[in-house]
Amino acid sequence: MIIEPRMRGFICLTAHPDGCAQNVKNQIKYVTSKGKIEGAKRVLVIGASTGFGLASRITSAFACDAATIGVFFEKPPAEGKTATPGWYNSAAFEKDATAAGLYAKSINGDAFSSEIKEQTIELIKKDLEQVDLVIYSLASPVRMHPATGILHRSVLKPIGQTFSNKTVDFHTGNVSQVSIEPANQDDIDNTVVVMGGEDWSMWINAMKEAGVLADGFQTLAYSYIGPEVTEAVYRKGTIGRAKDHLEATAFQITDMLADVNGKAYVSVNKALVTQASSAIPVIPLYISLLYKIMKASGIHEGCIEQMQRLYQERLYNPSGIALDDKGRIRIDDWEMREDVQNQVAALWKIATTENLGEIGDLAGYKQDFLNLFGFGFEGVDYKADANEMTLIPSI
C-alpha cells in the first residue's frame, strides 16, 4: 500500500516500513563509521525498538559485535493497517544484524509483566546462557503492576504549585502559554510506580535468581535533568520524582549484584525528539531552541550519536567510567554547557509564534518527528507500494 503520515497530536497513526528500515540503516552506518568498541558481547535491551533503546541495541551490535535480545511493546501490522514504528525498526534491525552475522532476537510484549520476564530469561538460557549487559530504556505512560494487577498511570505535572510557561504546538508552530495544575500525592506515587526503578530492579532480581547474569555484569538505565525552564514540569515535577527513584535504585541494584561483581548505572542523556518527549508540555519548545544553538555550535547529536559516545567515551572507556557527584554517567554534558544554556535561556524569553521559525529549529523538530515514524528519509520512494505486513523474523 502507499503509506502517508497521518498526524494526530503527539503521534502519527501510520508508520513506513521502508523509511524505518532506512532509519536503522543510517544509524548502523554512523556507528560503523566510528569504529569498533571493546564492550559486552551478550546484551539485553528492554525498550529496544525506538529512541535511546534502539540506538543502544544498534551500538551494541554494530560497534561491539554483540548478540542482542530486544524487548519492546509494539503493535504488529494488519492487512491495510501499518504497525507502530518500533515494529518496523526491529524488523529492519534483525535483518541487518543477521546479515552481518550477528545473533538478534526479539520479544514483543509488556515488559512490566512477569510472563515477559520469564520468556526473556528462557530465551537467554537457551541461546546465550548469560548476558553481560542489560540496557533498561522503557518509556511508558502506564504500568500494570504484576503483583497487584493495578494499572498505574503516570502524569506530567508540577508539584506544589501551578506551572505556567510557554509551549509550542510543533505541527503549527503556534507558541502559547500553558498552565498545568499541580499533582496530588496519588499522581506522584503512580508516576514513580510507572517510571521509577521498581521494574528495573525486578528484572535484574529475576535474572539474578535465574543465574543468567555473567560475572562483571553491568546494567544501565536512562535519566534526564534539563534546564531551569522545564524544571517545574520535569525534574522537580512528577516525572522528576520517578527519575530520582530510578537513580536511587541503581545503588540498590549494585548492592544486589555484589556476588557477580556487577554494577548498575544511570546515564543522564540529552533532550531529543522521541515519541516519549514529544508528549511533555514545554519540552518541544525547549528542544527546538536547543537544536538551533547546538547545530550552530556543531555539537548537535541524535540518539545514535549519544549512544555511540556513551559506549565509547563512558561505559567502555579504558580509563574507567567518569561519574558526577551523584554517581551518574553524564552524556548530557554538551546540552548542559553554560554557553549553550545561556543562549537557550535568552531565546526562550523572546520566542513567539512569529519568530520561532527563525530563532528556533522548528523545521529540525518536525523533521525528526516525521523520521520517528519512518517518513522524510532520503533514498525512500514514498510513492511506491510498501509492504505494511513486514514482519520481524524472530517473532
Task: Tell me which residues touch ligand NAD (CB under 6 A).
Answer: 47-53, 71-74, 86, 110-112, 137-140, 222-224, 269, 271-272, 274-277
Other residues' Cβ atoms within 10 Å of the Cβ of residue 89: 32
Minimal CA–CA distance to 59: which of 84, 79, 86, 39? 39
133 φ/ψ sector (left φ>0, alpha ψ -120 to 50, else beta): beta
Catalytic, out of 30, 88, 222, 234: 234
For 49, phi then psi, to 5°, come to: -100, -20
Residue number, 214 or 294, with CB nearest to ligand NAD: 294
Residue number, 348 or 373, with CB nearest to ligand NAD: 373
Place of cell 549494585: 254
Chain residue whose CB lies nearest ligand NAD: 51
The DSSP call for residue 270 is P
Minimal CA–CA distance to 210: which of 109, 125, 110, 123? 125
Q: Where are the alpha helices (DSSP H) in the chain?
A: 17-33, 51-64, 85-99, 114-123, 185-195, 198-209, 228-231, 238-256, 275-278, 283-296, 303-309, 338-350, 356-359, 362-372
Residue 53, Cα to own-chain centre: how many angstroms? 5
Q: How far apart are CA 141 and CA 43, in angstroms?
A: 25
Residue number, 49 or 218, with CB nearest to ligand NAD: 49
Residue number, 154 or 218, with CB nearest to ligand NAD: 154
265, three cell numbers: 548505572
Minimal CA–CA distance to 214: which of 272, 152, 156, 261? 261
CA distances (Å), 336 to each of 165, 225, 232, 327, in order?
20, 9, 17, 17
Shortest approach of ligand NAD to residue 335 CB, angstroms?
9
Shortest approach of ligand NAD to residue 303 CB, angstroms?
7
Residue number, 222 or 377, with CB nearest to ligand NAD: 222
Shortest approach of ligand NAD to residue 222 CB, angstroms?
3
CA distances (Å), 369 to each of 85, 156, 197, 335, in order?
12, 20, 28, 20
Shortest approach of ligand NAD to residue 157 CB, angstroms?
16
Shortest approach of ligand NAD to residue 225 CB, angstroms?
8
234 counts as catalytic: yes
Shortest approach of ligand NAD to residue 48 CB, angstroms?
6
Look at the chain and count its residues: 395
Output the CA torsion sign for 350, 355, 361, 362. positive
Residue number, 36 or 81, with CB nearest to ligand NAD: 81
Residue number, 73 or 348, with CB nearest to ligand NAD: 73
364, three cell numbers: 529540525
CB half-sphere exposure, 311, CA atoms < 13 A = 31
Shortest approach of ligand NAD to residue 204 CB, angstroms?
16
Active site members: 234
